[in-house]
Structure 1
């Protein structure tokens, strides 16, 4: 019983520490949603408001993740995501934004690794993603059909590896996929009620969970 009590205390201390460390992220998210700058004319202010939460997560990983390739790859992926957020603020820079997020997903895949394989998960992800792309493709501009297919394939790979890793990474990959699916449908098929809000909330949740996955298992400091 004493051992179970100590383990519960360790988890509580660890969760409390991580919550305190993420205060800047929550503060910047609150600022973004209060200002809701993206609905206005694209500007550097709106770009900064969108990417500040991601940059705060990158700082969190840089300062608190244990040394090793996993944390480094997630850190670089977050920086690429922040760059993608900046590009996507301006409609004419969307291709550059997509390229930045492709790089982010490739770094996330590099962090998540290829073991265990979990072939059944891969097959399930392939079926779901192909079905979704089949519904989306007729509504895409002809010049975006192939780039979106490539992006969907890389996002599917990231989701597969995240689900195989389990825990926070799995939820992060799932929220990322939900966010992008809602955003694509809202953009290319038909506007969804609260579509932009839901896609943004799930996007930030995905990035936060991937950042937290770098400190899972970290030994808490007991004061």
Structure 2
């Protein structure tokens, strides 16, 4: 009797990387929330270790995905995660490294944007892009009184790039969903990551330039790491992707 064909089994993102990244992210968040102000106590050291370690592990998760959408897509996402890792480190260094950290994350968003453009045109869904740009413009307007003159142009540029990245991710997901093609599921992960990244950076900017948020690290990092995880998860093919 002829054997029944088995469903296509695809390698999934490495669970060990995901679990270790979750532990490191939890340590980073707990350390930031519980650390004494301006003190290098044990909690702050835990944060210093956990924050870049979580990002590094998510980079490893993306890089070791067994069956990526494409090698080029994976390289671009990993380049973006590497820039995020650099930004994490720069923002933890003693001294004012806010602008260098901003530049590192800006380069990361450009890498993510390049990944989204690998299989969709820019502004595939104009409403998604315009909506994200409008939200970013509204946030910058609210932050404007608290921005030092030297930071205004960098913040405008960063907000525009971040919103373009998130808007493109959302539009790409909507386009693939409408096509009902094999990239719809991975594109949804990328869109979730883009929107969470925008939320995390908006919370960070509000806390820094507008008004302190209660338990700010909890909300900022609590959206940042899921954003990176979703973006790393978007590298893996779904079961319907096949050999495309």
What is the alpha-carbon root mean square deviation over aligned residues?
2.6
Give, in whole Å, the separation in 2 of the partners of 1:125 and 1:41. 38
Do 2:194 and 2:227's aligned partners in 1 also have CA atoms closer than 8 Å?
Answer: yes
Trace 1:196-215 onto structure 2 (pairs within 5 A). 196-215=217-236
Once the two structures are superposed, residues 41-80 of structure 1 have per-residue CA deviations (whole angstroms, 9 ceiling, x without a partner) of 4788744321110100111111115251111111111111
Do 1:29 and 1:53's aligned partners in 2 also have CA atoms closer than 8 Å?
Answer: yes
Which TM-score applies when normalising by structure 1?
Answer: 0.84
Change (3 A) 1:39 1:73: farther
Aligned to 1:163: 170
Which TM-score applies when normalising by structure 2?
Answer: 0.77
Trace 1:28-177 onto structure 2 (pairs within 5 A). 28-36=24-32, 40-41=38-39, 46-64=47-65, 66=68, 67-90=70-93, 91-113=95-117, 114-115=120-121, 117-166=124-173, 167-177=188-198
Task: Give how far 1:39 is off.
Answer: 5.1
Task: Give how far 1:139 is off.
Answer: 1.2
Structure 2 unaligned runs (5+)? 1-5, 174-187
More helix by share: 1
Number of aligned pairs?
210
Give, in whole Å, the separation in 1 of the partners of 2:157 and 2:36. 26
Structure 1 unaligned runs (5+)? 1-5
SS at the partner of 2:97? helix
Aligned to 2:199: 178
